[in-house]
């Protein structure tokens, strides 16, 4: 099939690449000329496991192309995806300016029937606005071009996006057009062979499904962080509690890991946007308010533990930080807990030696060159000359360190485990003090 995708970020690039890999002819459009030139030269702008090889292979095969020319990209397109960003506006609502700009571009150039697909995460009612924007441009051209607008939200996890695209749990499609549904079924047939994954519904329900899914996952994380904070105060170990409740099939083990808070481009933005949507319709979403409030507070927890251990005397101390990305297997630092921790450490007069397997370049872009931040080449190098270690991202490479060597390297011999990846007894047996999230032992020791 002939597919055009507007946007070459995580969603657009992964979706376009996977569609090309099963034989479709895909053109990805972006207004960033430098990004397009880089992609055509084989430079993939994001880190996502398995993505670079697929991009290069399909580009070489001619199935995946990149351009800034929207008009030519729309020629012959059967399906047009809108996969551009919807960043939070000042009031927390989703900024639809990029989505609607693409819709106007489609209306300005479309000359044949096509299915226009909202792939971006957008508030309920956006399909109506996209349809109106296209119609306005067609009217200005004094032409009538048949088209359908459908909702097909993405459910890609950063770090697993290629796998999620190739083997989706579900394919949610919102449409009342039989013609559009058949075209979308044809497009997704290669991803739907093992069992029926397509879930059909009306457009508005599809739009809300995406927000509801992310809000539910964010709620589970904030709930566990709330329980962790209670566990610290009553002397319980949240990791034991996690196993105890996860064994209940009604709850399960997924997304019940306490830690330093959630980040990234989805959960924070989508919870805020859903909150705003509810308020616009006269409803106060008290649970969503709490989910966001708990998460914002949790991002400060690591600093509270560090400051408490040193009795607030952090001036001139050096803290090693393992992990800058908001989660493993990505270089994305949007809304990352590490950003909150680093700013607090600097405000307290501390220095930072940080290591992340993929996000160092992003950290340089965000923070620039500064004397109180040293981006190191390895986890071991980050420990050199540091007083303490703070683990912020649970990269697999951090899970089994040499604790005796760590004890020798750290001047204050203390570890702050923001993801509970270490066994406290193993750490303490090496002569290190240990602080985790919700592990009552830390409270008992203090």
Q: Say how far apart CA 295 and CA 228 lie, in whole Å.
A: 12
**DSSP summary character for residue 88:** B
pLDDT in tens, 32-58: 999 999 999 999 999 999 999 999 999
Three-state DSSP class for residue 288: helix
Residue with tokens 């089994």: 400
pLDDT in tens, 100-147: 999 999 999 999 999 999 999 999 999 999 999 999 999 999 999 999
pLDDT at 4 over 50: yes
Are 263 and 337 spatial neighbours (Cβ–Cβ below 8 Å)? yes
pLDDT in tens, 183-233: 999 999 999 987 889 999 999 999 999 999 999 999 999 999 999 999 999
DSSP assignment string, 5-26: EE--SHHHHHHHHHHHHTT-EE
The dihedral through the CA atoms of 261, 263, 266, 271 has a sign that is: positive
Tokens of 370: 């500064």
> Closest Cα partner for 279 from 271, 218, 87?
271
Tokens of 441: 């032992």
Point out which residues pair with 391 in neighbouring strands.
322, 417
pLDDT of residue 92: 77
Q: End-to-end distance of the chain based on CA atoms, in angstroms?
A: 64
pLDDT in tens, 318-367: 999 999 999 999 999 999 999 999 999 999 999 999 999 999 999 999 99
pLDDT of residue 93: 82
Are 421 and 399 spatial neighbours (Cβ–Cβ below 8 Å)? yes
pLDDT classification of 90: cutoffs 50, 70, 90? confident
pLDDT in tens, 384-436: 999 999 999 999 999 999 999 999 999 999 999 999 999 999 999 999 999 99
The mean pLDDT of 257-265, rounded to a whole number, is 95
Helices (H) and strands (E) in the chain, counts: 19, 14
pLDDT of residue 446: 42
Are 386 and 408 spatial neighbours (Cβ–Cβ below 8 Å)? no
Q: How far is CA 121 from CA 94, 125, 224, 273, in A?
A: 9, 12, 26, 10
Exposure class string for 150-181: b at 16+ Cβ within 10 A, else e: bbbbbbbebbbbbebbeebeebbbbbeeeebb
Point out which residues pair with 317 in neighbouring strands.
none
389 CB contacts (<8 Å, ≥6 apart)?
319, 320, 321, 322, 382, 383, 406, 410, 414, 415, 416
Residue with tokens 């693409």: 102
> Closest Cα partner for 73 from 111, 18, 22?
111
Residue 41: enclosing H or E segment and its boundaries? none
Angle between helices 203-234 and 126-140 (to 10 degrees): 140
Give this prediction's pTM.
0.91
Angle between helices 238-246 and 203-234 (to 10 degrees): 140
pLDDT of residue 76: 96
Q: Say how far apart CA 421 and CA 395 lie, in whole Å.
A: 10
pLDDT of residue 443: 42
Catalytic positions are 266
Helices within 65-177 (DSSP H only): 70-74, 97-109, 126-140, 161-166
pLDDT in tens, 144-163: 999 999 999 999 999 999 99
pLDDT of residue 352: 98
pLDDT of residue 114: 98
pLDDT at 91 over 80: no
């Amino acid at each position: 099939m002939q597919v055009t995708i507007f946007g070459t970020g995580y969603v657009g690039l992964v979706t376009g690449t996977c569609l090309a890999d099963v034989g479709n002819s895909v053109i990805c459009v972006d207004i960033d000329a430098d990004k397009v030139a880089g992609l055509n030269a084989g430079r993939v702008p994001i880190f996502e496991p398995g993505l670079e090889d697929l991009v290069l292979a399909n580009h070489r095969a001619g199935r995946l192309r990149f351009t800034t020319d929207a008009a030519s990209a729309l020629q012959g397109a059967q399906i047009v995806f809108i996969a551009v960003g919807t960043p939070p506006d000042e009031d927390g609502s989703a900024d639809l300016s990029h989505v609607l700009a693409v819709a106007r571009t489609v209306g300005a150039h479309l000359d044949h029937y096509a299915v226009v697909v909202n792939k971006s995460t957008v508030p309920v009612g956006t399909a109506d606005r996209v349809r109106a924007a296209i119609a306005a441009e067609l009217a200005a051209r004094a032409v009538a071009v048949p088209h359908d607008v459908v909702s097909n939200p993405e459910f890609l996890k950063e770090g697993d996006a290629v796998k999620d695209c190739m083997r989706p749990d579900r394919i949610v499609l919102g449409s009342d057009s039989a013609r559009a549904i058949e075209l979308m079924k044809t497009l997704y047939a290669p991803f739907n062979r093992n069992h029926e994954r397509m879930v059909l519904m009306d457009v508005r329900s599809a739009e809300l499904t995406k927000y509801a899914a992310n809000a539910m996952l964010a709620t589970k994380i904030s709930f566990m962080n709330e329980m962790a904070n209670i566990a610290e105060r009553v002397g319980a170990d949240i990791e034991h509690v996690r196993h105890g409740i996860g064994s209940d099939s009604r709850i399960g083990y997924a997304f019940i890991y306490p830690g330093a808070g959630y980040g990234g481009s989805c959960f924070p933005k989508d919870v805020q946007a859903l909150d705003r949507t509810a308020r616009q319709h006269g409803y106060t979403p008290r649970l969503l308010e709490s989910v966001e409030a708990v998460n914002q507070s949790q991002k400060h927890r690591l600093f509270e533990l560090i400051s408490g251990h040193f009795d607030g005397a952090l001036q001139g101390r050096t803290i090693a930080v393992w992990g800058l990305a908001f989660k493993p297997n990505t270089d994305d630092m949007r809304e990352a807990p590490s950003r909150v921790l680093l700013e607090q450490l600097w405000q307290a007069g501390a220095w930072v030696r940080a290591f992340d397997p993929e996000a160092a370049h992003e950290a340089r872009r965000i923070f620039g060159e500064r004397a109180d931040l040293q981006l190191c080449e390895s986890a071991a190098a980050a420990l050199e000359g540091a007083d303490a270690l703070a683990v912020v991202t649970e990269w697999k490479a951090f899970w089994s360190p040499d604790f005796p060597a760590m004890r020798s390297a750290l001047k204050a011999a203390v570890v702050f485990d923001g993801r509970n990846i270490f066994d406290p007894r193993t750490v303490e047996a090496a002569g290190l003090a240990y602080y985790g999230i919700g592990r009552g032992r830390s409270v008992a020791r203090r």
